[in-house]
């Protein structure tokens, strides 16, 4: 059994600098916003795992069923030697790909990448034990700048699952997909999991569950700011909001200030005022249509080989070939 390796391309200091820059930009903008990647400290990663188990949150279980159903076909179609996973989190669903890939015989190496060192090291410990013949090489980084650090060669598949592509606005998405397109070689694959546009009565509760777990996840970003930037947010003074934006076809999560309040962000020497009822955007989660995914992938140099969906067409798993 080979010892796993862990490359850290982003240190706590880098993360803190990036957080500072994002918070300064977002909290001095009108309307205010924060990028979703800061949800995932250890607590946020745990809360996200709880979200994936909620009745209302269909994406994870739907994607898992698609992976279970099609993992063997993915393995024979791609004959992947190196599986790179962007935003791997717990790597839980990925096990279906790892098992199918080792059974098919081509898979040698798994490269999980995540911004959360705690999620990544936790996942890797279990993976080395369960897949003793795989080389496991973790990368702690921001997925948007992981690609240039990817070792070349060896029939790679880049997996980007869970619908995380939807966290990027269209321009960021186009740039990110184009970068993957430039990084991989002809014949290599992108395996993408995306949520599809469905009835808002199903989508909205997935982001606003009855038990309030998503609300805790949303407010946790304020605790991250308190801890990292020495800020004075009172998370309980913000209400979780989830809406479906029909024009942009995305779910938007916001935090609404329940009263007029001032927050000090010591590390930025910044005072921020919130009006009563003021809403700050904390996440977009775009949903897709078959034509839009195919078009966006084509623009990045990928041809869709397989487009699998569940019976309710809630989620799609897409195998696209460069």
Residues that bind ligand AVJ (CB under 6 A): 51, 59, 162-164, 166-167, 207, 214, 283, 285
Using a 10 angstrom Cβ sphere, with 0-12 exposed, 13-18 middle and 19 or more buried, the burial of residue 44 is buried
Which residues carry a binding-site annotation? Answer: 57, 87, 93, 114, 142-143, 167, 207, 283-285
- Closest contact distance (angstroms) between CB of 51 and ligand AVJ is 5
Q: Which is nearer to ligand AVJ, 107 or 255 (CB)?
A: 255
In angstroms, rounded to a whole number, what is the distance separating the alpha carbons of residues 259 and 272?
A: 13
User: Is the distance from CB of 77 to CB of 305 less than 8 angstroms?
Assistant: yes
Which residues carry a binding-site annotation for L-histidine? Answer: 57, 167, 207, 283-285
- Tokens 């994607």, residue? 63
Which residues carry a binding-site annotation for S-adenosyl-L-methionine? Answer: 87, 93, 114, 142-143
- Closest contact distance (angstroms) between CB of 269 and ligand AVJ is 31
- Closest contact distance (angstroms) between CB of 100 and ligand AVJ is 22
Distances (CA, A) of 76 to 81, 99, 111, 236, 256: 11, 13, 20, 50, 48
Residue number, nearest CB to ligand AVJ = 285
Q: What is the CB-side half-sphere exposure of residue 18 using CA atoms within 13 A? A: 15
User: Is the distance from CB of 252 to CB of 234 less than 8 angstroms?
Assistant: no
In angstroms, rounded to a whole number, what is the distance separating the alpha carbons of residues 190 and 181?
A: 9
- Closest contact distance (angstroms) between CB of 283 and ligand AVJ is 6
Q: Which is nearer to ligand AVJ, 240 or 322 (CB)?
A: 240
Q: Which is nearer to ligand AVJ, 35 or 166 (CB)?
A: 166
Q: Which is nearer to ligand AVJ, 107 or 214 (CB)?
A: 214
């Amino acid at each position: 059994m080979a010892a796993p390796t862990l490359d850290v391309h982003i240190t706590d200091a880098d993360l803190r600098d990036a957080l500072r820059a994002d918070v300064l930009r977002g909290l001095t903008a009108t309307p205010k916003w924060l990028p979703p990647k800061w949800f995932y400290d250890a607590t946020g990663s745990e809360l996200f795992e709880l979200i994936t188990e909620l009745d209302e949150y269909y994406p994870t279980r739907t994607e898992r069923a698609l992976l279970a159903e099609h993992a063997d076909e993915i393995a024979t179609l791609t004959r992947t030697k190196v599986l790179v996973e962007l935003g791997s989190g717990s790597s839980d669903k990925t096990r279906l790909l790892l098992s199918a890939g080792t059974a098919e015989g081509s898979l040698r190496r798994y490269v999980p990448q995540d911004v959360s060192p705690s999620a990544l090291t936790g996942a890797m410990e279990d993976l080395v034990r369960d897949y003793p013949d795989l080389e496991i090489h973790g990368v702690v980084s921001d997925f948007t700048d992981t690609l240039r650090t990817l070792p070349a060669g060896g029939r790679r598949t880049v997996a980007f699952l869970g619908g995380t592509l939807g966290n990027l606005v269209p321009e960021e998405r186009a740039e990110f997909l184009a970068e993957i397109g430039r990084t991989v070689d002809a014949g290599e694959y992108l395996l993408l999991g995306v949520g599809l546009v469905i009835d808002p009565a199903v989508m909205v509760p997935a982001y606003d569950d009855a038990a309030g777990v998503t609300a805790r996840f949303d407010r946790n970003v304020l605790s991250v700011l308190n801890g990292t930037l020495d800020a004075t947010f009172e998370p309980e003074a913000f209400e979780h909001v989830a809406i479906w934006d029909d024009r942009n076809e995305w779910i938007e999560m916001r935090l609404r200030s329940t009263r007029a309040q001032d927050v000090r962000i010591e590390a930025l020497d910044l005072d921020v005022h919130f009006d009563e009822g003021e809403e700050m955007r904390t996440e977009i989660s775009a949903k897709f249509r078959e034509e839009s995914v195919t078009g966006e992938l084509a623009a990045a140099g990928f041809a869709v080989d397989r487009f699998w969906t569940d019976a309710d067409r809630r989620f799609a798993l897409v195998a696209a070939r460069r």
